[in-house]
Chain A
């Protein structure tokens, strides 16, 4: 299965501030009543967007200035909570192609990489600096370069990194593990045969 080699992604940015933005925030559980992932994009940050509207404010994802943005910036421990792949699926289908945060919850991170959506870590200070640039110039093009481990915006570069295994998986086009796993089937059978509970 040949997959695209994801070495960089470019687009405009949107900043959704906050730490510990959990997967119920990314997509509330009640929207997971589905048997495909189609159409989940409209539910990305659904409650937060509705709440902002209710207060007469505009959530960044509804702000016309950021329409079409594909690189999402946030705080620490992004995607904590549930293992639902619906969360990265909703973001991807909303149009997000990379998430930048101070840190990521582990299951969300893995789910995102498997979709080919890089999750890169930047310092909080750098994220806030980028957020200011986006705020004053929403149209500015941002590039996340996975080979160089940097994020470029308006003539500036910031370190933006992924753990080596995830970086390699993306840049070599092996971000979906299924092909590798299938190649190991004979070894799987050998390993399973040694485990009494697998034989029973």
Chain B
């Protein structure tokens, strides 16, 4: 008793303590993609090692796939070499690959959950920092480097220290037009981009209880932007209902046994935390970033801060941000011209994101000065959305409807900003150069705020544009 979910999952997966005090932690589920795995397979070969549990690694291709011209060979020969290397590595080692022709390819953090691979009480690792997404199911999920991908392939374990746990409560009902994305941007703004260093974030409270599984994923996804390598929500009926019937979810009697086990992995009511913070959902408004890290955020109706408003230690970064973003300190961000609108990513590229925006954009038109793209997070999301008529709604409104992938979140594929274009983006990082142009500018926001910016051609309050009260 008195244990957190992290305590319980850690205890069940701790193989042994290593000589330097780290835990050799069993990683039950390993997800790989084309960017951070080829070198790991190379190292494996150099050491003459095999994959220990090939059935516990799952692969997909996401970062480098073009979202428009998807026929192979890709015109980018480097990207083409990467997908072929992954295909060969999966073939050679007997690893399941959700490949482009499978109809199930997509962003790794969308594919794992929708296939039912992501399950409560498990440990998950992937060579991608947004692996924290899977914590939404009550899994302990780590982003890892390539050498650790090698470690997990060869031993199904990695060496790691147990993090502390900070409980983050958000209570109450979000105002209309305020979304899970605003919640996590608010949390990062409050706790800072390095506030989570050494911590796992456990999210809870009545706001999280009421969230759908996909909303929980949006929040957990950005834990790493607050410095927390791990973020999770305790599993509950919302989680179980989401998983039931999915391809890799347990079936029949196994299902009932699994649900009983999963319920028991949730943190005990008297669990002890290293830190607790609490926020009121009613205090959160639609949030946008004004700077070059996700903690530099304000409510849409606030002004860009003055350098003197910023704590002294953050001032140099703020000054750098004002220059890069071409924003004026002390002035509203609302009304800033936007050239690109990007709806997608592992943060906000799920069916519910596309459905929510589609409700509002019927009969509206993207501004002639904006290039707007919608990138479903997976082929499954795309085909569901298409069968529901969403693609048509987006196309009619002037959005380009694309194929599944990471797209403009990170500039590793043809979708990139050009020059100093400003992008209203539903993605997770506003780092300099993140969207493929060194001088490109990113403003992070919720999907509906992206749609509002696309329609007006400037950063706008979606509540005003769509008459949300």
Q: Give chain A's interface residues, CB within 8 Å of chain B.
A: 17-20, 22, 24-25, 28-30, 32-37, 47-48, 50-51, 76-77, 80-86, 88, 103, 105-107, 110-111, 114-115, 164-165, 168-169, 172, 174, 176-178, 180-182, 184-185, 187-188, 191-192, 194-198, 200
Contact = CB atoms under 8 A, between A and B. Distances in A.
Contacts of A19: 313-314, 316-317
Given A76-B194, A184-B16, A195 B21 contact: no
A88 B18 CA distance: 24
Q: Return the 4 tightest CB-CB contacts between A and B, nearest first.
A: A111-B145, A85-B145, A177-B159, A35-B38
Interface string B179-211: 000000000000001100110000000000000
Given A188-B15, A198-B28, A36 B431 contact: no
B144 A177 contact: no
Contacts of B12: 194-195
A188 B156 contact: yes
A178 B155 CA distance: 8
Nearest to B47: A178
Contacts of B438: 28, 47, 50-51
Contact of B155 (A25, A28, A30, A188): A188
Contact of A198 (B19, B53, B145, B316): B53
B147 A114 contact: yes
Contact of A188 (B18, B157, B412, B432): B157
Given A24-B429, A185-B155, 20 more contacts: A17-B316, A29-B410, A35-B81, A47-B433, A47-B438, A83-B129, A83-B143, A85-B127, A88-B145, A106-B197, A165-B21, A178-B155, A181-B158, A182-B154, A184-B16, A184-B18, A187-B16, A188-B155, A191-B15, A197-B28
Interface centre among A34, A47, A106, A200, by most B CB within 10 Å? A106
A1 to B, nearest CB: 8
Contacts of B103: none
Contacts of B161: 165
A105 B20 contact: no
A22 B13 CA distance: 31
A28 B143 contact: no
A32 B76 CA distance: 13
A146 B151 CA distance: 26
5 contacts: A24-B410, A25-B431, A76-B313, A84-B145, A184-B24
A182 to B, nearest CB: 6
Interface centre among B56, B122, B148, by most A CB within 10 Å? B148
A105 B145 CA distance: 13
A20 B14 CA distance: 32
Given A81-B429, A197-B122, A107 B229 contact: yes
Given A28-B433, A107-B229, A195-B12, A83 B145 contact: yes
Contact of A33 (B28, B29, B36, B412): B412
A180 B194 contact: no
Interface string B14-49: 111011111010101100000110110010000101
A106 B229 contact: yes
Contact of A32 (B14, B47, B412, B416): B412
B227 interface: yes
B166 to A, nearest CB: 14
Interface in B114-146: 119, 122, 127-129, 131, 143-146
Given A33-B78, A184-B15, A192-B156, A106 B198 contact: yes
Contact of B293 (A29, A80, A111, A164): A80
B420 to A, nearest CB: 12
Contacts of B158: 177, 181
A168 B82 CA distance: 36
B434 interface: yes
B433 A24 contact: yes
Given A19-B313, A191-B13, A83 B26 contact: no
Contacts of B54: none
B429 A114 contact: no
Contacts of B229: 106-107
Nearest to A124: B313
A82 B129 contact: yes
B246 interface: no
B250 interface: yes
Given A19-B313, A83-B144, A180-B18, A32 B156 contact: no
Contact of B159 (A48, A86, A181): A181
A153 B467 CA distance: 63
